[in-house]
């Protein structure tokens, strides 16, 4: 449920930050695309950005696991979003965990300028630790939507992105070949804790 769309009447040009978060395979990008498409249907000017490091499906589109997609602009650094934003009503940002902490200031500046900023990203890494700037984005956001995948082992709600390999680096791009969504109990069992 989109709280901003369903319970708050926004009049005039009022900026806000919305964060969509959760584990891998929970539908974050799908929800981001849904919100951005609704804004486009409403005739609002929309710009979409993603980190250039994320080339899993496409270099110039954000793509959900169920293959929904929308055109985006890849950027190396969050500061580029301020330069490329132009005169828009809504900005979408996918895979926020891959940006550095400057993304928080960028989102605040955009919202302060009356822009609706919708950000999607992982809240935790494979080790269940807060991931990159997403926890800070959640703190400054007016609206936070945490969504869940389904645990592939037991069918309960999955909160965690379990890495199937033993690689220890935090950023390791991959899909179902490297990660599966697990609930707390199944994560503990799979990790041997």
Catalytic residues: 95
Task: Convert 35-56 to b/e letters by CB count within 10 Å (16 or more is b).
Answer: bbeebeeeeeebbbbbbeebee
Identify the CATH number of the domain defined by range 3-148. Answer: 3.40.50.300
Q: What is the mean pLDDT of the chain?
A: 85
- Enumerate the domain spans of the chain: 3-148
Tokens of 63: 């793509």
pLDDT of residue 135: 96
Structure-token pair, residue 135? 């926890």
What does the pLDDT read at residue 7?
A: 47
Pick from 51-55, 89-93, 110-114: least confident? 51-55
pLDDT at residue 65 in the model: 59
- At 158-186, the pLDDT tens digits run 999 998 767 666 555 555 567 899 999 99
- The pLDDT assigned to 68 comes to 73
Q: Is the pLDDT of residue 8 over 60?
A: no
How far apart, in Å, are the Cα atoms of 119 and each of 27, 86, 128, 165, 190? 13, 18, 20, 28, 30
Q: Do the Cβ atoms of 182 and 193 come closer than 8 Å?
A: no
Residue 62 main-chain phi, psi, to 5 deg:
-95, 135
pTM of the model: 0.84
Residue 170 is predicted with a pLDDT of: 53
């Amino acid at each position: 449920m989109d709280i901003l769309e369903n319970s708050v009447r926004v009049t005039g040009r009022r900026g806000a930050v919305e964060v969509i978060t959760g584990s891998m395979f929970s539908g974050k990008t799908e929800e981001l695309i849904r919100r951005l498409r609704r804004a486009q249907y409403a005739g609002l000017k929309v710009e979409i950005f993603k980190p250039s490091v994320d080339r899993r499906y496409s270099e110039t589109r954000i793509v959900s696991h169920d293959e929904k997609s929308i055109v985006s602009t890849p950027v190396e650094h969050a500061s580029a979003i301020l330069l490329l934003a132009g005169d828009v009503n809504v900005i979408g940002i996918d895979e926020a965990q891959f940006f550095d902490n400057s993304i928080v200031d960028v989102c605040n500046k955009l919202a302060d300028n009356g822009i609706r900023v919708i950000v999607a990203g992982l809240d935790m890494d494979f080790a269940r630790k807060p991931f990159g700037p997403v926890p800070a984005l959640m703190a400054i956001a007016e609206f936070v939507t945490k969504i869940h995948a389904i645990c592939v082992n037991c069918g309960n709600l999955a909160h965690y992105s379990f890495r199937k390999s033993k690689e220890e680096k935090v950023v390791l791009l991959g899909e179902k070949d490297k990660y599966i969504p697990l609930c707390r109990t199944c994560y503990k069992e799979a990790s041997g804790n």
